[in-house]
């Protein structure tokens, strides 16, 4: 008999096919009234499949008294009720490492784009403006200073990418990492003041909300660029828009926003900002690897009682 799983949101077709082959999966996202469905059927499910974007609410968790495992598609954990899950002994799996390269590639692609203005130059050609004159000069990347907020798995890959451009790298974490060769800045403001490019790859959640503040942006200065491939909540979006409009920083490359998929009109109007639709991990290869790890987490739990890639519970 197959284990019964609840699926929170629509997932890639290949992943859905394999998931449904192995398990008895019910698509909660198709329910007009999920709360009423859970009140009647929540006790039937032992597993829950979700994503970093949607997570699991504590109310949903409470409505599933038989739940044993959560398997999340992504690395963000701020939408997962880790303390409540830990209190009930519910295993929580996620998909670290398999998306490091693609997210780092996106971060460095944004570094290149905001500095060299490739997207803006593409629009310049398409508008026919090249017939009227030359595109303005841009900023070089090679040999510049790259600051990284959050030197975790992805941050360290970004740092390695920077070495190919002869960039000096420094970082800011809650504490120094003695195993890395990069310089540590004790405050985010000092890192921003030093950097030509400030790349945000920290975790989301309440602890990092608006960590990139108006003061940090002021420290980054009129020749500095902000890159965010983390979570929109880490940056004070209103302060960022003000800084961009007033020329307090040189530009920004953004893959994430405060209220996705809604992007502020004021950001859309700015030529020195590159805007991506939260696609950092969105390649066929990476999404396939993430899907496989979601399945491996479920398979491992139901065969051994432990997921392969576990999120640490919060006490």
Residue 231 designated active-site: yes
Query: Which residue out of 278, 292, 296, 308 is catalytically annotated?
Result: 278
**pLDDT tens string 283-300:** 999 999 999 999 999 999
Query: Long-range pairs for 274-277 at CB < 8 Å and ≥24 separation?
Result: 274/110, 274/113, 274/114, 274/119, 276/106, 276/110
Q: What SS3 state is found at 108?
A: helix
Nearest alpha-carbon partner for 167 in 213, 200, 190, 199: 199
CATH class of residue range 4-97+284-304 = alpha beta
* pLDDT mean over 251-276: 97
pLDDT band for position 1 (50/70/90)? confident
Asked if 4-97+284-304 and 100-275 have one fold, the answer is yes
* pLDDT mean over 240-246: 98
| DSSP secondary structure code for residue 273 in this structure | E
CATH class of residue range 100-275 = alpha beta
* pLDDT mean over 248-272: 97
**Residue pair 49/9 in contact by the 8 Å Cβ criterion:** no
**What is the chain's mean pLDDT, rounded?**
95
* CA 310 – CA 65 distance, rounded (Å): 21
Q: What local confidence, expressed as pLDDT, does residue 298 receive?
A: 97
| DSSP secondary structure code for residue 48 in this structure | E
Query: Which residue out of 10, 31, 58, 260 is catalytically annotated?
Result: 260
pLDDT band for position 314 (50/70/90)? low
Residue 296 designated active-site: no
Quickly tell me which residue has 């740092």 as its tokens.
Answer: 159
Q: What local confidence, expressed as pLDDT, does residue 130 receive?
A: 98
Q: What local confidence, expressed as pLDDT, does residue 279 receive?
A: 96
**pLDDT tens string 31-49:** 999 999 999 999 999 999 9
Residue 313 designated active-site: no
Residue 169 in this model has a pLDDT that exceeds 90: yes
Of 16-20, 145-149, 218-222, the poorest mean pLDDT is in 16-20
Q: What local confidence, expressed as pLDDT, does residue 10 receive?
A: 74
Phi/psi-derived region of residue 128, left when phi > 0, alpha when psi is between -120 and 50, beta in every other case: left
* CA 315 – CA 89 distance, rounded (Å): 12
**pLDDT tens string 46-78:** 999 999 989 999 999 999 999 999 999 999 899
How far the first Cα of the chain sits from its last, in Å, is: 34
Q: What local confidence, expressed as pLDDT, does residue 313 receive?
A: 64
Query: Which residue out of 117, 231, 287, 313 is catalytically annotated?
Result: 231
Residue 315 in this model has a pLDDT that exceeds 70: no
Domain boundaries defined on the chain: 4-97+284-304, 100-275
Instruction: Using alpha carbons, list the distances in angstroms from residue 39 to 10, 33, 35, 63.
Output: 21, 10, 6, 6
């Amino acid at each position: 008999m197959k284990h019964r799983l609840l699926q929170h949101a629509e997932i890639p077709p290949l992943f859905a096919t394999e998931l449904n082959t192995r398990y008895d999966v019910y698509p909660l996202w198709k329910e007009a009234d999920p709360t009423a469905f859970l009140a009647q059927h929540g006790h039937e499910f032992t597993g829950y499949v979700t994503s970093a974007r949607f997570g699991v609410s504590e109310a949903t968790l409470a409505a599933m008294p038989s739940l044993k495992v959560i398997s999340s598609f992504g690395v963000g954990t701020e939408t997962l009720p880790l303390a409540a899950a830990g209190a009930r002994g519910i295993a929580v799996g996620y998909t670290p490492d398999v998306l490091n390269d693609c997210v780092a590639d996106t971060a460095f692609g944004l570094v290149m784009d905001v500095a060299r203005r490739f997207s803006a130059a593409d629009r310049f050609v398409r508008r026919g403006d090249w017939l009227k004159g030359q595109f303005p000069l841009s900023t070089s990347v090679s040999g510049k200073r790259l600051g990284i907020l959050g030197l975790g798995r992805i941050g360290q890959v970004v740092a390695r990418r920077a070495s190919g451009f002869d960039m000096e790298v420094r970082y800011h974490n809650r504490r120094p990492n003695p195993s890395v060769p990069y310089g540590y800045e004790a405050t985010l403001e000092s890192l921003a003041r030093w950097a030509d490019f400030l790349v945000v790859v920290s975790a989301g959640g309440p602890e990092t909300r608006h960590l990139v503040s108006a003061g940090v942006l002021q420290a980054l200065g009129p020749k500095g660029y902000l890159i965010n491939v983390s979570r929109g909540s880490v940056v004070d979006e209103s302060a960022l828009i003000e800084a961009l409009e007033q020329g307090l920083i040189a530009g920004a490359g953004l893959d994430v926003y405060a209220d996705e998929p809604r992007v502020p009109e004021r950001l859309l109007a700015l030529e020195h900002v590159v805007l991506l639709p939260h696609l950092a991990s969105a390649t066929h290869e990476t999404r396939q690897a993430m899907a496989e790890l979601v399945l491996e987490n479920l398979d491992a739990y139901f065969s051994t009682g432990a997921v392969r890639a576990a999120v640490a519970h919060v006490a």
